[in-house]
Amino acid sequence: MRGEFTVTETAADLGDLALVLARQLADSGHRTSLDEVITLFGHTRESLNTPT
């Protein structure tokens, strides 16, 4: 029974590794700040704090 668990665990670990590597290869390094996103939606931090 231990052998089956080890194979399943190893397969899951390899899947995780593949995901990490794919994300690392696809990452351009560009990050979007929260303020940029808020502005894209036509708001400011102040407008979000104003009660409606």
Collapsing DSSP states into helix, strand and coil, what is residue 48? helix
How many Cβ atoms from other residues are within 10 Å of residue 5's Cβ? 9
How many Cβ atoms from other residues are within 10 Å of residue 28's Cβ? 5
Query: How far apart, in Å, do the first and last CA atoms of the chain sit?
Result: 60
Read off the pLDDT of residues 29-52 as tens digits, 9 standing for 90 and up: 999 999 999 999 999 999 999 886
Please list, in sequence order, all residues whose beta carbon lies within 8 angstroms of the beta carbon of residue 16, skipping any fewer than 6 positions away.
none
Residue 25 pLDDT more than 80? yes
Please list, in sequence order, all residues whose beta carbon lies within 8 angstroms of the beta carbon of residue 35, skipping any fewer than 6 positions away.
45
Q: Is the pTM of this model over 0.85?
A: no
